[in-house]
Amino acid sequence: MTPISDELAEQIRAIREEVVLKTLSVTLIAGGVLLVGNMARNLHLGNPLSVVHPLLYLALLSVYLLRQRIGATRIAWFTVILLYLAATGGLFIYGLAGNSAAVYMAFCFISTSFFGMRGGVVAATLSVGTMVLVAILHIGGRIALSIDLPTFMHNPYSWVAAVLTVGSMSWLVLSQVGRLNARHMKLLAEQHHQARHDPLTGLHNRLALESILDQAIADALREDRELAVFLLDLDRFKNINDSLGHNAGDRLLVEVATRLAGCVRGSDTVARLSGDEFVVLLPRLASPDVTGVAAKLVDTLSAPYAIGDRELRTAPSVGISLCPRDARDVETLIKYADTAMYAAKAQGGGCFQYFAPEMNAAATERLRIECRLREAIDLGQFALHFQPKIDMSGRLTGLEALLRWPGAGESSLPPAQFIAVAEENGMIDEIGDWVIATVCRQLRAWLDDGLDPPRVAVNLSTRQLRASDLAARVAGLLAEAAVPARLLEFEVTETAAMENAESAARHLGELGAMGVTLSIDDFGSGYSSLSHLRSLPLDALKIDRSFVRDIASDANDLAIARGTIALAHSLGLRVIAEGVETLAQWQLLRDNGCDEVQGFLIARPAPAEALAGILSLGRVPLPTTG
């Protein structure tokens, strides 16, 4: 049985107390009626001593009722002993039943109330035992009672009162116990439900999923079947939550849960693991099913969501693990589905991926990078290289700062790899600040050396662009190094600029207003809308290296490069071609009106010290043109 929570235990305790109190009060009232009746009868029979008993009963009752105020827990023993003596004394004075029965009842219930269930059982045993003993002694002629048994037996009043008291008490105790049980079971059922369901969506939670999956694995292995675990994560959910508020986020999650439940059969399980992570478990499947279900899940969740008066879009990244193919235990199956989900995300999201053992290696590598990155930040292992950009006459127009991580004793990792990891775990904020600060300090050093450095471009990641205090931090770093804003440039990718269109535009606007230059990096490799680009304070577009690479051999790439140049010029922007490696590329770009180039043909990225010559000349020797 599920262990009960403190809260439930407290509720049950309160119900028990209520039951005990009610029973007690009815008992005491019934006992009182019985006593008063007997008192009237005894007075009528000319026995004034019978008044003592009800008075004693009344006094002890008051002690019990006022126990809190007079601190009667300390005199509890005294109270119950007196009640016992009063009842037993009554037996000798009045006979076997009547008053004594009423006082014995009070004795039992007050003992229960003071000393709990055990106290009640002891008191009841003692009462019944005494009554039986006295009856045996009386019937055996060993003791004489003032009113003999036949007189009591022939008095209809005693019978009615006794039957009424016992009957009402039995009814009350039984009905209260029944009620208590019903409440107890209901609370247990509620607690069980709450412990296994997510309060927002009503889906199963992780705990429930784990036990259902555990059972499903056992069934599948026994019946020689396969089962599939889908782990879904919503792309860009955090953005929606951050920009539209948790309320909108919650409504989206509820809608996602409804759609998910609609996609699967009743025998399948849908669970919410946390935040925007869901799991669908197909406990029995024919293998073509899996791909079909995965595609249906992606399609269904990718359709627009009407939340309030907005239309929101998100898409799931789905990772799939299969039992027994991939693993045979709950933890590993979920972990592998998670790994596969990351692989789907790495492909841009909105798709599904089956788990493959190679992914494990990739995930382990990511983890290793993550650990080493933390160390690199602490030990200051990063360095910056700078790559010149020139115009078509060879004049130095700018430098791009590129992060290098020589690594501790290992071959250096390309930035694209470790930056992706740093983006995901948030370390990019710290690393990015270090890059900007280092660039500012480097500019200061060049200025102090009497050089005339050109603008230095820093790459900004999506996450950095999202931070609302970006402009303020940049302003602080520029001021600290006493470097004019015009010497700093930021490169953002189309995807980063589009991802949070509104806040990106605001943050870029603030930077632009400070005098910092902005350009779109890797243009053509992502997706962006022209209307959005027009709203940004841009100075330049950088044509992605992938179009430059084949520009001399692929007519399509040449057409794209030409189109990009024309488009940029019509928007009043400069065009920079990156990754220029050959003379042919250089000539084609020059002939098609490209403004600037950057690439190995001109100069490779190099540490600051290696750039003194180029900086003092202000130009780079042009590649020999044909």
State in angstroms the smallest separation of the CB of 625 from ligand C2E.
Answer: 17
Burial of 332 (0-12, 13-18, 19+ CB in 10 A): middle
Tokens of 359: 């992914």
Query: Is there binding between residue 19 and ligand C2E (CB under 6 A)?
Result: no
3-class state of residue 113 by DSSP: helix
What is the C-alpha separation between 58 and 63, in angstroms, rounded? Answer: 9
Task: Tell me: does residue 521 bind ligand C2E (CB under 6 A).
Answer: yes
The answer to the question of residue 461 lying near ligand C2E (CB under 6 A) is yes
- How far is it, in rounded angstroms, from Cα 445 to Cα 384? 14
**Which of 77, 78, 157, 600 is in the footprint of ligand C2E by CB under 6 A?**
600
Residue 131 in tokens: 């009554």
The length of the chain, given as a count of residues? 626
Question: Would you give the distance in Å from CA 594 to the centre of its chain?
Answer: 50
Nearest residue to ligand C2E, scored by beta-carbon proximity: 599
Q: Is 438 in the site for ligand C2E (CB under 6 A)?
A: no
Rounded CA gap, 76 and 412, in Å?
81
Interaction residues for ligand C2E, span 380-399 (CB under 6 A) = 387
Part in contact with ligand C2E (CB under 6 A); list of ranges 136-144, 457-465, 499-507, 615-623: 457-465
Contact with ligand C2E (CB under 6 A) among 198, 326, 489, 491: 491
For residue 419, state whether it binds ligand C2E (rule: CB under 6 A).
yes
Burial of 469 (0-12, 13-18, 19+ CB in 10 A): exposed
In whole angstroms, the minimum distance from the beta carbon of 300 to ligand C2E comes to 34
Q: Which stretch binds ligand C2E (CB under 6 A): 133-141, 293-301, 408-416, 528-536?
A: 408-416
Residue 338 tokens, joined: 């998670």
The stretch among 159-167, 313-321, 323-331, 409-417 that binds ligand C2E (CB under 6 A) is 409-417
Smallest gap from Cβ 415 to ligand C2E, in A, equals 4
3-state secondary structure 234-294: ECCHHHHHHHHCHHHHHHHHHHHHHHHHHHCCCCCEEEEEECCEEEEEECCCCCHHHHHHH
Picked from ligand C2E, Mg ion, none, the partner binding residue 416 (CB below 5 to 8 A depending on kind) is ligand C2E
As measured in angstroms, the least distance from the Cβ of 555 to Mg ion is: 23
Chain positions contacting Mg ion, by CB under 5 A: 459, 491, 521-522, 578
522 binds ligand C2E (CB under 6 A): yes
Among 566, 571, 563, 533, which residue's Cα sits nearest to residue 547?
A: 563
Under the binding rule (CB under 6 A), the answer on residue 550 touching ligand C2E is no
Structural element, H or E, at residue 139: helix 99-139
Work out how close the CB of 600 gets to ligand C2E at its nearest, in angstroms, rounded to a whole number.
3
Interface characters, 338-377, with ligand C2E (x: CB under 6 A): ----------------------------------------
Distance CA(166)–CA(27), nearest Å, equals 9
Residue 517 parent element (H or E): strand 517-523
Q: Are 237 and 350 in contact (CB under 8 A)?
A: no
Residue 254's nearest CA partner among 201, 299, 203 is 201
Output 499 or 521, the one with its CB closest to ligand C2E: 521
Among 183, 325, 581, 618, binds ligand C2E (CB under 6 A): 581
Q: How far is the CB of 462 from ligand C2E (least distance, A)?
A: 9
Candidates 3-11, 180-188, 305-313, 597-605; binding stretch for ligand C2E (CB under 6 A): 597-605
User: Token pair of 426, please?
Assistant: 């948030």
Least separation in angstroms between residue 459's CB and Mg ion is: 4
User: Would you count residue 402 as binding ligand C2E (CB under 6 A)?
Assistant: yes
Q: Which residues make up the interface to ligand C2E (CB under 6 A)?
A: 387, 402-403, 414-416, 419, 432, 435, 459-461, 491, 521-522, 545, 578-581, 598-600, 605
